């Protein structure tokens, strides 16, 4: 059981000020780390970008603990080999904690995000893969091909995917999209499911962050071999069932 249960209702005045201070601090730190990292990325390529992103993510995790009283707990064994990390997505916080736990993180990102100045450049250098959703099924084929190329180049790492495609509220479920099964079938990659309870502490819209112990749990690997229908059912059951368990531990009654 968590030492702190999520508290419903409006923030206290103190926690409101702590949220403000946290976001001001992170804004300044992002600018400073971003400029500090430009040379490292320009000269070090992806390894330099990974180093800079690791510093920034680690600083966000540390700052959340100091300013907000939000502790990140990682359970299970974070993968270090080329694989797909398929996670429940409740808030920005699970992105941070999962990214901090794996050594070579990468995401599939909307093409528009990759075009954002500085941020998009960092995302590209880290190894994120753009998706053009207007291409429909062709987009997933292109992504699978790019992932296969990265595997051959030994430059993939841990590809983080959110099967629901968007953030969900605690207790909410949305239909799982089949993109993760398509990439798995095309590449033969292991899939590591991840359960979370992060939305209880860091809301979906990012304001009203509360103290507590937010948990991200890496579950046993699902190896290649099963058909896509069986795989998707197993993946959803693993992620949703264990996320429900983590939320119940934190005091959530949905």
Which is more confidently placed, 84 or 119?
A: 84
- The residues near 61 (Cβ < 8 Å, ≥ 6 apart) are 72, 96, 97, 100
Which is more confidently placed, 145 or 111?
A: 145
pLDDT digits (tens, 9 = 90+) for 150-170: 888 888 899 999 999 889 999
pLDDT digits (tens, 9 = 90+) for 169-211: 999 999 999 999 999 999 999 999 999 999 999 998 889 999 9
Beta strands across the sheet bearing 83-87:
70-75, 212-218, 191-196, 83-87, 158-161, 105-110, 129-131
From 232, 254, 231, 230, select the one nearest 243 (Cα to Cα). Answer: 254
Tell me the C-alpha to C-alpha distance, in Å, between residue 246 and each of 5, 76, 88: 12, 13, 12
Q: Please tell me the distance from the alpha carbon of residue 228 to that of residue 231, in angstroms, as a whole number.
A: 5
Which is more confidently placed, 245 or 121?
A: 245
Q: φ and ψ at 196, to 5 degrees?
A: -145, 160
pLDDT digits (tens, 9 = 90+) for 7-30: 456 789 999 999 999 999 999 999
Dihedral over Cα of 49, 52, 54, 56: its sign = negative
Pick the CATH number of 13-249 from 3.40.50, 3.40.1350, 3.40.1130, 3.30.70: 3.40.1130
Q: What pTM was estimated for this model as a whole?
A: 0.90
- What is Dmax (Cα atoms) for the chain? 53
pLDDT digits (tens, 9 = 90+) for 77-95: 999 999 999 999 999 999 9
Q: φ and ψ at 218, to 5 degrees?
A: -85, 125
The full set of domain ranges for the chain reads: 13-249
């Amino acid at each position: 059981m968590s030492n702190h249960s999520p508290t419903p209702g409006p923030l206290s005045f103190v926690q409101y000020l702590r949220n403000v201070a946290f976001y001001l601090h992170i804004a300044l730190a992002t600018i400073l780390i971003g400029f500090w990292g430009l040379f490292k990325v320009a000269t070090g390529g992806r390894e330099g970008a990974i180093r800079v992103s690791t510093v920034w993510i680690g600083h966000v995790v540390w700052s959340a603990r100091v300013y907000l009283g939000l502790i990140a707990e990682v359970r299970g064994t974070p993968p270090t080999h080329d694989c797909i990390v398929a996670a429940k997505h409740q808030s920005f916080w699970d992105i941070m904690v999962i990214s901090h736990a794996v050594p070579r993180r990468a995401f599939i990102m909307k093409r528009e995000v990759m075009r954002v100045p500085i941020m998009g450049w960092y995302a590209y250098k880290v190894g994120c893969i753009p998706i053009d959703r207007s291409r429909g099924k062709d987009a997933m084929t292109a992504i699978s091909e790019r992932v296969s190329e990265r595997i051959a180049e030994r430059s993939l790492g841990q590809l983080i995917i959110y099967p629901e495609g968007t953030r969900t509220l605690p207790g909410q479920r949305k239909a799982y999209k089949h993109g993760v099964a398509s990439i798995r079938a095309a590449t033969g990659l292991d899939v590591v499911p991840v359960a979370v309870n992060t939305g209880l502490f860091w809301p979906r819209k990012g304001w009203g962050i509360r103290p507590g112990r937010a948990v991200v749990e890496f579950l046993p690997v699902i190896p290649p071999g099963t058909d896509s229908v069986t795989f998707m059912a197993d993946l959803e059951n693993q992620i949703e069932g264990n996320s429900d368990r983590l939320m119940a531990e934190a005091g959530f009654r949905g």
